[in-house]
Structure 1
Amino acid sequence: MTAEGVYVYAIVRAGRPLPTGAGGVGSPAAPLRTIRQGRLAAVVSEAPPKLRARRRDLLAHQELLLRLSAEGPVLPMRFGMVAPDEETVRGRLAADEADHVAALERLSDGVEINVKALPAQNALADLVAEDKKVRRLRDEARRRPGYEASLRLGEAVTTALQSRAAEAGRRILRELTPLARAVAPGPDVQGCVLNVSFLVSRGDSDDFHRVAERFADRHRTHVELRLAGPLPCYSFVSAEAPHARTAGV
């Protein structure tokens, strides 16, 4: 098997040991090593040929980042970041050393928790009880059934569910923000009214989850919350792999 460059997983402080028994992408799993430059080190392996976003490689990448972040601050790379050679990696580490060191300090003892909010499912009965317009359109559709009446009712229900979820999303954002060190809005996700990541101190992550879960329980007829994390701090790192190309994604 011929390697096709250097696969970059993360940037860490120089001198950090690699997790025992950890492997990289590829089949068999590529051996891991570090490339050290000044106060930094890149966690890398040889890039396997024809790298694609296969499930086993995605899981290997994510598992390594989780293990690294459990042992100290890490600047995680997205899956598929490949540099042409070690000298390129060293050059970029040297050029961005001050920024990377500052980012590692900022993320020290931090984890990312992502929160998505969606309209509540199976909440029609509560919606009809609370929303006069929906209740009126439902009654009209019952008295004079037909395509137009059903269409108006369906549109009103969709709009009302989205509105209720959006308001709940704004409230949970206000409630969770004081518990976080930083907040980063995520990209729009189909079906979601909120997609936000929070930088939370590792020791506070359980409390953060409890607050979110209590909110979700109190507002279950308005919104469905989906939490992911603790995760590596993707959303709070601007660093990218050194002059890398993205393979297979």
Structure 2
Amino acid sequence: MVEVATDLPVPAAGAWLHAVVRDAEPATLAVIRGMDGGPVRAVPAAGLVAVVSTASLDEYGEEPLRRNLEDLAWLERAARAHHAVVEALARRGPVVPARLATVHSDDERVADSLAARRAELVGTLDRLTGRDEWGVKGYLVAGATTVGTETTGAGGVGTAYLRRRRAQLTAREERQQVASAAADAVHEALCELAVAGRRHAPQDRRLSGASAPMVLNGAYLVDVATLPSFTEMVGSLGDRHPGLHLELTGPWPAYSFVVERPESALTVREPV
């Protein structure tokens, strides 16, 4: 006869915070999958709702989470799962997204955080209502080579090569300076039409997937009613600045326009 142990310890479970919303229908949450593969759930408090995943502290507690954040494959999977939840919520209304890897030890801590930050969270939800985040990326357009063929003159072949190389570098630096000034002008113009704008650091080519260097990585909070005008402006700015290739992306949850605040003692932040 085989005896089955029934007193094995059950791993403690925390709450991975995805986002805060005004309300959430149970039917909506039932079809959104969280970090553990099961449906996300609501933690209501102070007239708001935190949307969380059940998170085993064996994997998502402070120490194991710090180790996992060093594993790029694990980090990518976690980021995709987290963003998918936030994106699904954003399709249904304003949402305050939590930063990746914000984990509370239990639902009570989540509720306490909502109560403590209620005024700030309500203000943010009000500001995001009827608005979306859009991204505009600007890439340097490679110009035609301006350096002509040079015959070997005084100084020989080596000297001619150095002249050509110096001229090429000068032309490249000039293109980059012009593109940088154009990126500043584009961002300033878009900020005038958007509710708010923010510039992020340009992405590395390995991350952007583009062959050209990025000189503008802007995020803009745009009223839904203003979106046609904003889209048209991006196109006209691209025509006005031929040294830049502009790419409009979105809509995105408003990650760029949410104030970051410390959470509970178990919160672990993504490394910068």
Normalising by the smaller structure, the TM-score range is: 0.7 to 0.9
CA RMSD, 1 decimal = 2.6
**Residue 23 (str. 1) matches residue 27 (str. 2):** no
8 A Cα contact 1:35 1:43, kept in partner: yes
1:96-136 C-alpha deviation (Å, 9 max, x unpaired): 11111111111111111122222113x225xx3xxxxxxxx
Name the amino acid aligned to 1:199.
L
1:25-71 C-alpha deviation (Å, 9 max, x unpaired): 23xx1321111111211110112553654544332322221221121
Spell out the pairing of 1:33-44 with structure 2 (5 A cutoff): 33-44=41-52
Name the amino acid aligned to 1:91.
D
1:170-218 C-alpha deviation (Å, 9 max, x unpaired): 2222332222111122235444322221100134334423321343245
Indicate the percent of aligned positions where both proteins have the same amino acid: 28
- 1:124 matched to which residue of 2? 144
**Residue 245 (str. 1) matches residue 253 (str. 2):** no
Higher RCO structure, 1 or 2 (CA under 8 Å, sep 6+): 1
- 1:184 matched to which residue of 2? 198
**Residue 219 (str. 1) matches residue 241 (str. 2):** yes
Within the candidate set 174, 177, 181, 1:167 is matched to 181
State the secondary structure of the residue aligned to 2:150: helix
**Deviation of 1:80 (Å):** 1.9
8 A Cα contact 1:19 1:67, kept in partner: no
Question: So what's the TM-score if we normalise by structure 1?
Answer: 0.81
Cα distance 1:67–1:107, how it changes in 2: closer, same or farther (>3 A)? Answer: same
**Distance in structure 1 (CA, Å) of the matches to 2:35 and 2:229:** 34
Question: So what's the TM-score if we normalise by structure 2?
Answer: 0.75
8 A Cα contact 2:43 2:49, kept in partner: yes
1:80-100 C-alpha deviation (Å, 9 max, x unpaired): 221121121111111111111
Can you give the 5+ residue segments of structure 2 that lack an aligned partner in the other structure?
A: 1-9, 61-67, 69-73, 205-212
Name the amino acid aligned to 1:41.
V
State the secondary structure of the residue aligned to 2:246: strand
Cα distance 1:215–1:9, how it changes in 2: closer, same or farther (>3 A)? Answer: same
Can you give the 5+ residue segments of structure 1 that lack an aligned partner in the other structure?
A: 129-137
State the secondary structure of the residue aligned to 1:170: helix
**Distance in structure 1 (CA, Å) of the matches to 2:269 and 2:120:** 25
Aligned residues: 232
Name the amino acid aligned to 2:238.
A
8 A Cα contact 1:100 1:239, kept in partner: no
**Deviation of 1:230 (Å):** 0.7
**Deviation of 1:227 (Å):** 2.7
- 1:232 matched to which residue of 2? 253
8 A Cα contact 2:15 2:103, kept in partner: yes
**Deviation of 1:248 (Å):** 7.1
